[in-house]
Structure 1
């Protein structure tokens, strides 16, 4: 049980927290999540605007753009300002191999679990840009959690156990409930299990972040399985803490752009039998260290 006030550091100690000059930023919480207003996401971003948006992403971890209504191509072009786009053969394809389409209605899909995207890859995604094409009349929110805050508030004895430890990530736990063995078997060669640090260092801010999740982390390496299971269960629960979270209620045409290195997210499946359609592009990342 946790008692007392949690440490909620939005930016690293010593970070110069400057005002934004090229758009209006409206915080959605004290720690994580901000709405960006007064910019047009279509077309090339001037370097100074891209730089300021990147600073906002680092400081707030997930950015929201209301009523963007981008085409799939415009959405992909916006994401490319942050690097090469990745493809994911495990997901339904949209208008191109770089656009994943989530058409959620009666068929259960990737919801109801806290996770970071594609941590089963050697180079998990830097971030993702998600747009809602169709929204249900109620429900269908998405939540994000700040995993640097999760690290900050761990007990010191837990920090000492996991700082420097590694864990195995595998795509099978997250996907076997959706696909049969005949589809999954060929992909096991393409996506073998990988090891990542349990505590990741952000390559741009230098902050330490908890880097394990329910969907893809199977066990901590070099640890008896029972001990690993117990410790991993405790660690993945840290994303559930409300003080580390922001919740976004979608409208059609809204966009969320999140730092996949620093966050986990959870799509809330509370709108059946209504339909929810989204398209996502993901930006290739670096190898965690």
Structure 2
């Protein structure tokens, strides 16, 4: 069967809020996509920050192929050691996120992915295979809008500051599993804490955003713990502002593609003990500046 290229003039983006999120139509991700389509999707990702697709019954191979059109795919070095997360032996770039009655998991804290890496992810493409009957939504927050909403005094205070990021939550989960001490020691040596600017500049748009998050940011360099926590807590809270958010209801064959450089996300844990199964591929990113 010969697959025809999808042409760019069929694409349509329906905004979900005035700040972020758009539903994409006019594209079939099972097909070979014309480079112009990829370019339009890349531009839309920067503009809308999260792109949503419905009715995309794709295979793992098609999921991988779509992700690779936006860059090299990364292999998450830690989640395969955490209960509820696993990678496929045949495709380690695929991270399976599964919650069941016996192993309920979710990421119910506002965060940006792997900020503890020197070069955090550009973005992730998450597709739903099994959705709960009710609940289990994911929210995204526009951290560029969050920065714009800061008072001028705070903007001046954080300009030029850097913060340290660490993967402590994953270590805690790994320590709970017997026999992981040696592995944790090796991973600590391989992935030491990373230092990133508190105000990140988007490499494409040039817009500024708040680039700290509660799970992974540990302290502000050059400030006492008390000073760090006071300022960081203030910045963490900005993601919780409803005006900066978009909420997505999962259903089978739906997909979300988010820009990890300008957003944070929160997976709501209101569906236990129902089954939820998603698979994710992640596009490698660059060093924040």
TM-score, normalised relative to structure 1: 0.90
- Say yes or no: does 1:158 pair with 2:158: no
CA offsets 1:14-66 (integer angstroms, 9 cap, x no match): xxxxxx84312111111110000111112432111111111111110000000
- Say yes or no: does 1:74 pair with 2:62: yes
CA deviation after TM superposition for structure 1 residue 86, in Å = 0.4
Residues of 2 paired with 1:121 and 1:63: CA distance? 24
Question: 1:144 touches 1:245 (CA, 8 Å); kept in 2?
Answer: yes
1:84-103 to 2 correspondences below 5 Å = 84-91=72-79, 92-94=86-88, 95-103=90-98
Residues of 1 paired with 2:167 and 2:61: CA distance? 28
Question: 2:106 touches 2:268 (CA, 8 Å); kept in 1?
Answer: no
The residue number in structure 2 matching 1:5 is none
**Mean Cα deviation higher: 104-113 or 253-262:** 104-113
CA deviation after TM superposition for structure 1 residue 284, in Å = 0.4
The residue number in structure 2 matching 1:253 is 253
Tell me the C-alpha RMSD between the 2 structures: 1.3
The residue number in structure 2 matching 1:240 is 240
**Structure 2 runs not aligned, ≥5 long:** 1-7, 80-85
Question: 2:104 touches 2:272 (CA, 8 Å); kept in 1?
Answer: no
Residues of 1 paired with 2:193 and 2:105: CA distance? 22
The residue number in structure 2 matching 1:198 is 198
CA deviation after TM superposition for structure 1 residue 129, in Å = 0.2
Residues of 1 paired with 2:192 and 2:10: CA distance? 43
The residue number in structure 2 matching 1:215 is 215
The residue number in structure 2 matching 1:12 is none
Residues of 2 paired with 1:266 and 1:223: CA distance? 28
CA deviation after TM superposition for structure 1 residue 198, in Å = 0.3
Residues 241/247 of structure 1: CA separation in 2 closer, same or farther (3 Å cut): same
Residues of 2 paired with 1:57 and 1:65: CA distance? 12
CA offsets 1:60-105 (integer angstroms, 9 cap, x no match): 0000000112111111110111100000121210351100011112
The residue number in structure 1 matching 2:265 is 265
**Mean Cα deviation higher: 53-62 or 21-30:** 21-30
**Structure 1 runs not aligned, ≥5 long:** 1-19
3-state secondary structure, aligned to 2:163: strand
Question: 1:132 touches 1:279 (CA, 8 Å); kept in 2?
Answer: yes
TM-score, normalised relative to structure 2: 0.90
